[in-house]
Amino acid sequence: MDLENELRQAMAEHVTEMSAPRTLAADAKRRHHRTVRRRTAFAVGAAGVVAAVAMIPAYQSFRPQTVGADGPGGQKHRQQPTGTLPVSPAPTTPSLSSSPSAGSNGAHSSGKSKRSASPQGSGSAAVRALLGYRPPGIDPAKTCQTAHTGAKETTTCRWAGSGGWVEVRLVRDSGLKVPSDLGLAPPMSEQVRLHDHSALRSVGPAITSQVMWIQRHGLGVWVGVSPSLNSSLIRVAESVSVS
């Protein structure tokens, strides 16, 4: 115990003359502040690095992709199927004639037909160019149109008025040999002679008054009239002039 007390006394005597410098407190404060700033800067830097790392996936997901680029965007564009627009069907031109067509006479023609209408003729000269006899009440002006069905060409001319209507069809086809080849023969008909040719005339009250014949090889003629002109059918047909 005496040795311990002697050591304490010796140490106290040794440090009695020693004193702390006056700037010790200021130096301690400066060191403390410097340490705090370093720790703050380190914490801010670490937070920035963490935020940058977290933004990388989001940037990749929002980055636009080109059509040819690899990845989900590019693959989506490459996988899109291509298609074609449907083609709308072309409208058909309605017939200017109200008389029965070839289909209503018991025959159907195949293929699409192209029609072209010509302006109306005027004056008796235009009528006599095709029709030599015009029943009373029939206007001299005519309306003509031409239709093509394959190799067949059909020109239809029509006259109308208060007395009814008259229609003449000229059919051009290299395969025409007999009247039935026209494809316009009615279900019920009888054999007659017109222009020194064998002809077919419709029979029956419910059938349009009509007659047809082959003028020459490859050219057929069809003549029809309204019911009011039934009695004038043969006279009208005999007046038809075909060049």
Q: Encode pLDDT of 7-23 as tens digits.
A: 888 787 776 666 666 67
Q: Give pLDDT tens digits for 106-137.
A: 443 444 444 444 434 333 333 345 788 999 99
Comparing 88 with 154, which gets the higher pLDDT?
A: 154
List Cβ neighbours of 106 (8 Å cut-off, separation of 6 or more): 185, 186, 187
Euclidean distance between CA atoms 235 and 210, whole angstroms: 12
pLDDT band at 204 (very low <50, low <70, confident <90, very high): confident
Euclidean distance between CA atoms 78 and 40, whole angstroms: 51
Q: Mean pLDDT throughout 229-235? A: 92
> What are the beta bridge partners of residue 197?
194
Global pTM value: 0.49
Q: Is 74 helix (H, G, I), strand (E, B) or coil?
A: helix
Please tell me the least confidently modeled range out of 47-51, 89-93, 175-179.
Answer: 89-93
Euclidean distance between CA atoms 161 and 225, whole angstroms: 12
Structure tokens at 191: 């054999």
**Residue-averaged pLDDT of the chain:** 74
Structure tokens at 36: 């705090």
Q: Mean pLDDT throughout 142-170? A: 93
69-96 b/e with 16+ CB inside 10 Å = b? eeeeeeeeeeeeeeeeeeeeeeeeeeee
Percent of the chain whose pLDDT exceeds 90: 30
Euclidean distance between CA atoms 122 and 143, whole angstroms: 10
